[in-house]
Structure 1
Amino acid sequence: MGSNSIRDRLAMIMSFSRLQKESCEYLLQDNYTMTTLQNAHFDVGITEVFALCGFGLFEMVDIPHVIGASAVGMFDSMNEFVQVPTMPSFVPSFLSSFDEKMTFPQRFVNFFLHNIVWLATQHVLHSYERLFSQYDLDTNLQQLINNRVNYVLSNSDEFLDIALPSTGKLVHIGGIALPEATTLPK
């Protein structure tokens, strides 16, 4: 991000969310793709947690098991999707530049920022709910995610990140990579 401004960061996230929702709408309007997905009878769907389209899409095409994936680790209200408690008293908001050792005024600001993120998330959730209702899926998206997501694969390393609350639904896969290939000795 080019700016450290909280307003700029939030504006970027909201703009990104709006573009994702527009892409989702194009996908839902594509009858061929929707019919193909429904007729394939997939057992499992994997979707990015930050992009909420997949959760409603999988419900619409009757995919029974859902795995969330997060390319950027877990932050703020994303934790609620896997029932991880949010702890703004010591877990920094992604909108802040704080670490886990915050002063009391920083904790107050962090709490405020966490609530801004929560409100923005609720706005995005409700906008997707309105979109899905146009396609006869009337649901509480937060509840759907809580009930349907088996687990979330998070691109984070629990040993290198700050100490956070966790749950069995959250699987840290950061740092998992293939080792460099070596030549075989003669």
Structure 2
Amino acid sequence: MLDVGIQVQRQQASAQKFFKLTKEFFSMIEEVHLLALETLAHMFDDKELMKSLQEAEYDLVLTDPAIATGLLLARHLKLPVVLNARWITSGEGHFAIAPSPLSYIPSPVSGFTDKMTFVQRVQNVLFHSITMFQQKFLLEPGYNRFCTKYFKEGCDIISLIQEADIWLMRSDFVFEFPRPTMPNVV
């Protein structure tokens, strides 16, 4: 699968190969998230474990939001969240927390710079749409089912990500393009 991904990036692959790779990647990502949610459900159902976590009186939860089960655990324990992040459940973290105009903020998979032609901007919107599709139709349903089952008030995974107290962004701004960010991003 990695070989095909490299071919697609180098534009040596057909559109059919690109869509096949994308479908396989989406299936893999969905399965990983569902397995993580299943593991967290076992933790939540283990009353002894949850009691010991609450009695430990932790100060915060440090987690990576690429798989958002740490956010759900923090919500259950009513603890502040520090995200050690670059990626969230579906895509690059800045897109979830800061204004990210697609006219000059390139989608990570696009390979574009902040200086895009009109056609590249249209392509950038399409790449970003694929990411939004992944979030909306592949990942959110599993997280929503989990939230409905374990939280009386329910929750939305993107809202939990956006409500994080501090973001430790794993990137070097020297290698980034100019973009808006938020005050809680370090």
TM surpasses 0.5: yes
Residue matched to 1:108: 122
User: Contact 2:147/2:156 (CA < 8 Å) preserved in 1?
Assistant: no
Range with greater deviation from structure 2 (154-163 or 5-14): 5-14
Deviation at 1:133, TM superposition (A): 1.9
Select which of 134, 147, 151 maps to 1:136. Answer: 151
Paired residues for 1:111-122 under 5 Å: 111-122=125-136
Among 26, 29, 38, which residue is 1:16 paired with? 29
- Structure 1 unaligned spans of 5+: 172-186
Q: Which structure is higher in helix share?
A: 2
Separation in 1, partners of 2:18, 2:82 = 31
Which residue of structure 2 aligns with residue 61 of structure 1? 77
Q: Measure how far apart 1:146 and its partner are.
A: 2.4
Tell me, what secondary structure is at the counterpart of 1:159? helix
CA distance in 2, matches of 1:13, 1:70: 20
**Matched AA of 1:62:** K
User: Which one of 46, 69, 78 corresponds to residue 62 of structure 2?
Assistant: 46
Alignment CA distance shift 1:6-1:91 (3 Å): farther
Query: Would you say the 8 A contact 1:6–1:95 is kept in 2?
Result: no
The alignment's C-alpha RMSD in Å is 2.5
Letter in 2 for 1:155: R
User: What is the number of residues matched between the two proteins?
Assistant: 167
| 1:93 matched residue in structure 2 | 107
- Quick one: which of 157, 170, 181 aligns to 2:185? 170
% identical aligned pairs: 22
Aligned with 2:169 (options 151, 154, 157): 154
Letter of the aligned partner of 2:121 in structure 1? R
CA distance in 1, matches of 2:24, 2:108: 13
